[in-house]
Amino acid sequence: MGIGAELDPRPGGIFRLDVDGVHHAAGRFVAVEPPHRVVFTWGWEGSPEVAPGSTTVEITLVPDGEGTLLRLRHTDLPTEEQRASHRGGWVQYTRKLATLLPIHGEVA
């Protein structure tokens, strides 16, 4: 997901994702509970609607037979348009991940 990242995966640590050389998502890690759960804030640099750190993403991994169930919840998005846009992005990336690993993607 993206072409680069600056990550300090501990509570309070930085989360910054270079999606394509132009768009950057940024926030802070809230919780890091290997290997089952990570929570971080999220937003877009330069965006007045979804500013860096203004929303929260929670990812949990749950054993499921021989695979893993990935649950992704993105909260605090301000409009239905933003919710739909981000939902589309998360579905795209979880589907890409599912092609590489025995994970079933679910976006809530």
For 29-56, write each residue's pLDDT tens digit: 999 999 999 999 999 999 999 999 999 9
- Which tokens go with 49? 């609607």
Which residue carries 């990550």 as its tokens? 7
Which domain range does residue 60 map to?
Answer: 4-107
Give the per-residue pLDDT at 27: 98
Domain count, the chain: 1
pTM, to two decimals: 0.88
Q: In terms of DSSP H, where are the helices of the chain? A: 80-100
Residue 27: Cβ within 10 Å count: 21
Q: What is the CATH number of the domain that holds 70?
A: 3.30.530.20
Give the per-residue pLDDT at 97: 82
Task: Classify 79 in phi/psi space as left (phi over 0), alpha (psi -120 to 50) or beta.
Answer: beta
- Cα–Cα distance between 54 and 74 in angstroms, integer? 11
DSSP reduced 3-state for 55:
strand
Question: Low-confidence residues of the chain, pLDDT below 70?
Answer: 102-108
Give the per-residue pLDDT at 108: 46
CB 17 within 8 A of CB 25: yes
